Amino acid sequence: MQPSIDQTGNHPGFRRVLLWVVAGLIAGGAARVEALDFPSLPSLFKRNTDSLEEMAQAPCGPGDMTMLPSGDYIISCHQFYNPAYAVTRLNRDGIWEPFPNAEMNTRGTGNPLALDAVLGLKCDPKGIVWMLDNGRLGGAPPKLVAWDTNKGKTGELHRTIPLVAPAVLKTSFLRGLALDPNEPFIYISDPASGPDAAIIVVDLRTGLSRRVLQGHFSVVPEENVGLQLDGKLVEARGADGNMARPLAGVGPVEIDRKGNWLYFGPMYGNTLYRVETEYLRNPNLGSGVLNSKVGGFSQKPICDSMALDSKGNFYFGDIQSGAIGYVTPDDKYGGYHHLVLDGRLVWPGGLTLGSDGQIHLFSNQLHRTPIFNSGKNATVPPFEIFRTKALTSRFWPR
């Protein structure tokens, strides 16, 4: 395990603070030191004593992750890796196997239930796994597939819901989902091409879906936010030959334990937004009124994954810093901190709150996939799955 910041002090920000303090003392003592700006200190030191524990190694570059009530890992294999299977599960023998079975992970058979390109995953307290298939690998129609892991020996299909126009666009790239704990609704993030990003609201009673907040500032990428990893800007060349920031629109999406608020934000953005779900569920609410109900909630890093515990603490997969970041209910815009800062976190994602009171996540190296590297695969397996202690060990059933 690589040493954490508090063990070595080997962090650029730490060294700068030391230099400033020394310079202040030389220049005239305490008065000079007091003039220094220290608000960034909590993000460097707070709870960096926590460490990562490697739990498993994914068989593919993971896109998202969820856990069964039993603690079993289920991961989606990111389509940028062109994986053999869309979804896999780590069984009790320590072997990764296609989930829910090989047949549903076989593309091109004409099976309308076959999984093509799954990213978003969520398991509800009853053990039903919801899989969000955006269909952008083999050209399959996008859909939601729910599998009940408690039925029979291998489980059985619970439900499938097609996602169609106008809720879904030709540019749609369905990324994440949040399950309403009290109402029959699912909320989906669609970063699309950026300017046309939106939230999709699925009514489980009717199977119908609606596209809302399209183009709103809370879902589109911020122009002045860029991601730089491995010494270069993370971009991909589009079909028109221009460089672009794929998946830069709304990605991370989460709901509170009572189902009152939906939290979300663009991957390329520094603000976490929220809106009351009662407004999202109202199909008669005009777009202008709904837009006015969205408000900023806190700071956030560049991320495509986040989690929320029962105490209102938000955790983020901080891609730029290679860290797990967090914001407490008391922080909001007042602060953003690092829970874990570790060199093994290379594009951290899949944040999941386990029944063991810990945060589970993976490192997927997405920026090293061919789409970002002129067709070359620069990833360096393994793709580790980690866990680390959260701020609280009490989570509600997810």
Average pLDDT taken over every residue of the chain: 87
Structure tokens at 77: 């294999």
- Measure the CA–CA gap between 80 and 349, rounded to whole angstroms: 15
- Measure the CA–CA gap between 372 and 378, rounded to whole angstroms: 9
List the one residue out of 264, 354, 255, 357 whose CA is nearest residue 308.
Answer: 255
pLDDT for 33 equals 28
Instruction: Check whether 335 has a pLDDT greater than 60.
Output: yes
Reported pTM: 0.86
Instruction: Check whether 35 has a pLDDT greater than 70.
Output: no
pLDDT for 24 equals 36
Write the pLDDT tens digit of every residue in 78-99.
Answer: 999 999 999 999 998 999 999 9
Give the CA angle between residues 212, 217, 220 to the nearest 5°: 80
- Residue 214 amino acid letter: Q
- Measure the CA–CA gap between 114 and 137, rounded to whole angstroms: 12
Rama region for 259: left / alpha / beta (φ>0; ψ in -120 to 50; rest):
left
Structure tokens at 273: 């937004």
What is the percentage of the chain residues whose pLDDT exceeds 70? 85
Structure tokens at 363: 């490192």
Write the pLDDT tens digit of every residue in 240-294.
Answer: 777 888 889 999 999 999 999 999 999 999 999 999 999 999 999 999 999 999 9
Main-chain phi, psi angles of 94, to 5 degrees? 80, 20
CA-based torsion, 332, 335, 340, 344: positive or negative? positive
Buried b (16+ CB within 10 A) or exposed e, 61-86: bbbbbbbbeeebbbbbbbbbbebebb
CA distances to 194, 212, 272 from 291, in Å: 17, 9, 15
Query: Which residue's structure tokens are 């680390």?
Result: 388
Determine the average pLDDT of the residues in 129-142: 96
Rama region for 293: left / alpha / beta (φ>0; ψ in -120 to 50; rest):
alpha
- Measure the CA–CA gap between 225 and 267, rounded to whole angstroms: 10
